[in-house]
Amino acid sequence: MIFGWFLLLTSAISWALTGFLRRYALAQNLIDIPNERSSHSIPTPRGGGLAIVISLLAALPILNRLDLLATNVLVALWGAGCAVAVTGFLDDHGHIAARWRLLVHFCAAVWGLYWLGGFPTLTVFGYLIDLGWLGYVLAVIYIVWLLNLYNFMDGIDGLASIEAVTVCASGALMVWLVRPDLTAWMLPALLAASVFGFLLWNFPPARIFMGDAGSGFLGITLALLSIQAAWIDAQLIWVWLILLGVFIVDATITLCRRVHRGEKFYKAHCSHAYQFASRILGAHRPVTLAVCAINIFWLLPVAALVALEKLDGIVGMVVSYLPLFLLAYRYKAGDWQAQDR
C-alpha cells in the first residue's frame, strides 16, 4: 500500500515537471518545427522527457535507503542514465555530432553493464550457456542499439511513452510471477509510473515531445532492466525481448533496409512502419493505441508463457515476432518510397 502511494507521488511529480518543462521550452523557443521528414504538422515544444529522468533518478536513492534496491543497480542506472540524459539534453538545445553521442552511449553501456555484474548466462532450449567475453560484447551492442532505436521510434504522439508504460508494467508483473519473494518488480513499476505522468501531456494530440534526453534515457534504462532481470532468472531476458518486440522489429527492419541501400542510419527520415501507418490512418492516436493493444493482448501472454517455463524463450520470440515482421512489411518499414507517400 505504501509503495502504491509512492508510485502515485512519482507520477504526480513527473506530471508537474512536464508542465514546467513545457513552459520552459516555450520560453526558450525549444520547438519542433514540422518539415518534410516530420510525422507532425503543428509546432510543438520538446524536451519534456527530462521529467521522466528527474522523477525516476530522484526516487531511486529512496528505494535504496529502504533496502528495496541494490546499490550496484542504483549506481548502474544513475551513471548510465545521467550520461545519456545530459548528452540528449545538450543535443536538444544544440546539435552534437553523432560520433560523440555514440561514444557517450558506448561508455554508458559499459558502465551500466559493469555495475550490474556483466552479462548473465542464457537459457537456450533448457540449457544454460555462458557466452564469456562474447556475451559482454553482445550486451554492450544490445544496450546501445536499444538506446538508439528508442530514439528512432519516438516519432509520433504518445508512442514511446505508451511502449515504456506497458513494457515496464508487464515486466514488473513477469518478475513478480517468477520471483514473488523479491522486490525487484518495484523498479520497472516505478519507471512505468514516472513515464505515465509524462504521458498525460504526451498522449495524442501531444502538448510536448519527449526529446532526446527522455528517449535515450528510456532506451538505456529498459536495456539495463532487462539484463538485471536476467540475473534474477535466465528466462527473463527473453521475456523482456518479447515485450519490446514492436520497437525492436520495426527499428531493426528499417535500419537494415536503409543500411543495405547505403543510407546513413542516423540521418533523419520517416520510413518506419509506425510512421507509414500513421500517414495511412491520418492520425497518431490509432497507431499508438494499436501498439498498446499488441503489447497487452499479444506480447504479454506469450511473455508469460516463457516466464512460467511453458514455452522456450527462443520459440516464444519467434512466435511473438512473426506477426510483427508481417506488420512491419505490410506498413513498408524501411521503404524509401514510403517517405513520400
What proportion of the chain, given as a percentage, has pLDDT over 90? 75
pLDDT, tens digit (0-9, with 9 covering 90-100), for 140-173? 999 999 999 999 999 899 999 999 999 999 999 9
b/e map of 312-332 (b: 16 or more CB within 10 Å)?
bbeebbebbbeebbebbeebb
**pLDDT band at residue 299 under the 50/70/90 scheme:** very high
- For 120, left (φ over 0), alpha (ψ -120 to 50), or beta? beta
- Type of residue numbered 185: W
Which pLDDT score, from 0 to 100, does residue 39 have? 65
> Structural domain boundaries of the chain?
2-340
b/e map of 87-112 (b: 16 or more CB within 10 Å)?
bbbbbbeeeeeeeebeebbebbbbbb
pLDDT at residue 244 tops 70: yes
Q: How far is CA 46 from the centre of its chain?
A: 18
CA 239/CA 237 separation, integer angstroms: 5
**pLDDT band at residue 40 under the 50/70/90 scheme:** low
pLDDT at residue 304 tops 90: yes
Which pLDDT score, from 0 to 100, does residue 339 have? 57
Mean pLDDT of 28-39: 72
Which pLDDT score, from 0 to 100, does residue 37 have? 58
pLDDT at residue 123 tops 60: yes
**Surface-to-core class of residue 17, CB atoms within 10 Å of its CB (0-12 exposed, 13-18 middle, 19+ buried):** buried
